[in-house]
A and B are shown apart, each in its own frame.
Chain A
């Protein structure tokens, strides 16, 4: 009997069998096999958007990939100190002039030497406002580069700039000749340890170690960056052994990852600080007593424990995390003290008959646990009689109100970081004339402005300490905690996760494989 029924089933069966055979052939590769051929697979949460290192400030994706392909004058090492890359040494010959001696072996993949002319051209490209490059705003004080000889170059700043070296670790050098007939947004030719062998816009990226690299050859030969935007995909990729390294994981997945013995989970503070900005320019938050009251009313410790898995500790009343140059060791945070909060609110004229009503805006889905943290804060505020209403909006709407319309609500959840880890950079978001600030404080602004150009290290630290103390006392924000950084990697991989988001294959090696 020729029954179509049976034929249908046979067809289905054959299809499944075929699929199974195919999948058996491709094999997914495990950490063990990758150790022997010294390759790693890194899961990225965001696609690599551009290959032009001067036109992106995304450390976790674009720049992490490009830092393997290009070299910079100096680099920030895993311990966050500044070390040499294309420049072997440097010193400040005048307050506003730094001199860099270049490594004479440094060269691009096509053999072009990386010399003083290359640096001069790159600085010109960067500082030319007409190029509209996104990296330019990190180099506000950089005026020009001057060639001293083939392997020596001076960088001249507009007044002394203590943060220049940190910024220079972000300046990846292109080859002037090569860019004449190539678009650096879609192709690469660098002087770094790796070259890109495969890239499609938004797709996976493959790297191979260069045979002729002039510096120390990396241990890992082949790198695959897999674009995995969903957190669930990153976690299952790690658990199944398809991904060797993922940084920037959600604290919610901590337990699941920890119980897997093939994974090593690392947790640290990131350099991104979470807080609730208070609009000191209008409404109830103009009153410093109210700003202090909300700081006392929130139990930062319990929020960090319950929502962030206890991965971070409350900030000691500072806008910076401890990794910034200019972090002050002397401030102390606002303790959880609801009675004190109620007292301050009463002084400011609020009480049960006249409750304080505020709006708390949070960009939905934008920040790690942001929506939950906003809810917890609202709940705790209500216990001291503050009626906070959550306004959850898309990130674009939020940014439009915050920056363009200059119409921030009374309170707003935000996390901020300055990639070059300069206190001056992050503090600049709080000076009087910044559209980010919503706080006009002459004392704070003065300390920060002076610190930026102060050449004496101790003096500068003292000024930043003044600024930190002023910010703590005036409370332009409700201080919370640093955003937690959770990274997981194959147990066999030797790699130290960094607080500043860089994921660099040159810093990895397989254990027992050297």
Chain B
């Protein structure tokens, strides 16, 4: 088990390093932030001096080594725009993003479970698929085919502008959380619900279901066993989608002016604030791979076969 965990951890670090290197190289080859920082009317010498002061005149390889050396010790240069340590700026915004992402994830799980079970229970009763059992799934398909930002704008229009029930933007109070969390969840529910429903249907078609029913087991109990059996593929998708959900915060936070790290990374990119972009993405990338790591480890818990096949030899 230990070797399994260590191996996964090692792969995780490689993934973070690779992704950050790509970001670093793309960022630094797109221009010199000193040009953007210098005030209008600055002379070439002033721009060059600013670039030197910030260290952007050094060879790319040297900047790369310095950046990773510092990052390994948890140090990032000061944000160019905010003139504060970049990591502090990011961690200040972290609670907002985590609140939003966690709410959306819980919401998505509840909805996906409900939709999947509703549909699965119908199969169990031996009914033909009908409108009554299938409409939630239809809604889910619809949500999947509409881009997230559009759903966001639509929700803002209906509940914020027309009905004025909920705030359209910002993060003041629990009401402000509702629309962004729903929008974010909309991106996660469809794949989650589909995989859960499909694997649940698959489990229900297996002999143990028939045996259980034949022995007089209650339908609810059979469904619970089948649901447990369909957890493995569902958790895989959940892990992938939790990562995608973190990526989705970038768009949703911008639509709803939610003051989290997703909005921050866009602002930082617009301002050419390289240290802040890197610190912010370090967090997002790390969170993404850590979520996947947790899912990998969860396999071991949910399905002992995974543990044995990796740790056995």
Contacts and interface: CB of A to CB of B under 8 A. Distances in A.
B121 interface: yes
Interface in A410-462: 416-418, 425, 428-429, 434-436
B interface, over-half SS: helix
Contact of B169 (A24, A202, A237, A400): A237
Interface bracket on B: 35 or more
B113 interface: yes
B82 A201 contact: yes
A23 B82 contact: no
Contacts of A4: 117, 220, 223-224, 227
Given A137-B42, A428-B41, A236 B110 contact: no
A404 interface: yes
B220 A3 contact: yes
A8 B157 contact: no
B95 to A, nearest CB: 11
A57 B271 CA distance: 14
B41 A436 contact: yes
A404 B41 contact: no
Nearest to B50: A132
A143 B51 CA distance: 26
Interface string A102-115: 00000000000000
Interface stretch (B1-9, B255-263, B286-294): B255-263
A469 to B, nearest CB: 23
B220 A55 contact: no
A435 B35 CA distance: 12
B62 interface: no
A240 B82 contact: no
Interface in A199-256: 200-204, 226-230, 232-233, 236-237, 239-242
B168 interface: yes
Interface stretch (A44-52, A150-158, A492-500): A44-52
14 contacts: A2-B220, A11-B110, A12-B111, A26-B176, A27-B175, A49-B81, A134-B39, A137-B41, A185-B83, A201-B88, A226-B170, A229-B267, A400-B35, A435-B43
Contact of A240 (B84, B89, B168): B168
Contacts of A429: 40-41
A12 B110 contact: yes
A22 B173 contact: yes
Contact of A26 (B46, B107, B173): B173
Given A132-B53, A227-B257, A400-B35, A202 B40 contact: no
B93 interface: yes
10 shortest interchain CB distances as A-B pairs: A23-B175, A26-B173, A396-B31, A8-B114, A22-B174, A49-B81, A185-B83, A400-B31, A201-B82, A236-B168
Nearest to A260: B161
B286 to A, nearest CB: 20
A352 B84 CA distance: 59
B36 to A, nearest CB: 6
Contacts of A32: none
Please indicate which of the listed interface residues B31, B47, B121 has the most CB atoms of chain A within 10 Å of its own CB.
Answer: B31
A46 B82 CA distance: 12
A22 B114 contact: no
A82 interface: no
Interface in B1-59: 30-33, 35-37, 39-44, 46-47, 50, 53
Contacts of A332: none
A129 to B, nearest CB: 9
B79 interface: yes
B165 to A, nearest CB: 6
Of B89, B168, B172, B178, chain A has the most CB atoms within 10 Å of the CB of: B168
Nearest to A200: B92
Interface string B127-149: 00000000000000000000000
